A = this chain, B = another copy of it.
Amino acid sequence: MSIPLKNDRLIRALLCQPVDVTPVWMMRQAGRYLPEYRKTREKAGNFMTLCQTPELACEVTLQPIERFELDAAILFSDILTIPDAMGLGLYFSEGEGPQFERPIRTSSDIQNLPIPDPHEALRYVVDAVQLVHQSLNGKVPLIGFSGSPWTLATYMVEGSSTKNFAKVKGLMFEQPALMHQLLSKLAQSVTTYLNAQIQAGAQTVMIFDTWGGVLTSRDYLDFSLGYMQQIVNNLTREYEGQKIPVILFTKDGSAWLIEQAGTGCDALGLDWKLPIGIARQQVGDKVALQGNMDPCILYASPERIEQEVATILKSFDAGNGHVFNLGHGIHPSIDPEKVGVFIDAVHALSQPYHEPN
């Protein structure tokens, strides 16, 4: 049974309902910029152990919530848990991005891919969600998440991080039907995975499309957004009487906000390229917007951070449907004190935009 929320600003803002102040959280808020995270990470020994041990994943998920007045927790996990559960063998070497022992090479590799049962191979994620939900005890909502099908496919076909996407685009250009088969399996897997997170206690879910922005418009709509659409159609949108908002985020995807809003999701994540006021004009009242401060502002002085928060609030202007966030994950070298300045500035400076008329 889900625990009632003491602070439901995030959920209300994602559903475009009135709030007292603009809610705020940060992508990668549980991460290396926090000394307490680095300590737990060291205790875990390696990154995968940290992800796969529910007690440790819970511990780092809660760390930023204890330190700052954040309005949400986001599950500490990796976007590549699904391909790992499909049998590709995810691993991390020091100083390298994620890699797979057995990347996708042939059409039979794709045909043989299983749709992972979230209660089997991804049990550790479901357990972590349950544990975080219990531990939060209604303090703030818990955000569940997954990588998008296209983003998962890029890593699965390339086998590691890539700069030029030669292999995955090669497959897409030469064997589009096979690519669609892979993406379709991934869309099913992501749907099942996110629904399991919702049943375990995630009060909203976010799909990270890290690499949709490397595609042409046509290819983005066909090979990335189309599969996020399938997921949106099949997600649990209400659970135990509570609406479960769905957030889509395509990095470098601000050219396609109207199409993203057309999927029927509740909110869109924005990077920092487009002023949020322009994004709002494009999507109207159809969806809430989450963003969109350049994470590099957190290197600047407290005064400069406050000035930037004020600029973004003014750009969005009064009205419902804004969740403050960075346009990308927080960098590991940011001073945590600056984060406190940022969070407090959002709450303090947004208050006038929410005063009842």
Contact = CB atoms under 8 A, between A and B. Distances in A.
B255 A300 contact: no
Nearest to A333: B166
A238 to B, nearest CB: 36
Contacts of A174: 299-301, 304
B273 A213 contact: yes
Interface string A270-308: 001111001000000000000000111101110010001
B165 A296 contact: yes
A170 interface: yes
Contacts of A237: none
A218 B314 CA distance: 14
Interface residues of A, number: 32
Given A166-B331, A173-B304, A255-B255, 20 more contacts: A164-B295, A164-B296, A164-B331, A166-B296, A166-B333, A169-B294, A169-B296, A169-B299, A173-B299, A173-B308, A174-B299, A174-B301, A215-B273, A216-B272, A216-B273, A216-B294, A217-B273, A217-B274, A252-B252, A255-B273
How many copies are assembled?
2
A254 interface: yes
Contacts of A272: 216
B173 A275 contact: no
A172 to B, nearest CB: 9
Contacts of A304: 173-174
Interface string A222-258: 0000000000000000000000000000001011000
16 contacts: A164-B295, A166-B296, A166-B331, A166-B333, A169-B294, A169-B299, A170-B299, A173-B297, A173-B300, A174-B300, A216-B272, A216-B275, A217-B273, A217-B275, A252-B252, A254-B255
Interface of A: 164-166, 169-170, 173-174, 213, 215-219, 252, 254-255, 272-275, 278, 294-297, 299-301, 304, 308, 331, 333
Contacts of A173: 296-297, 299-300, 304, 308
A170 B296 contact: yes
A170 to B, nearest CB: 4
A275 B166 contact: no
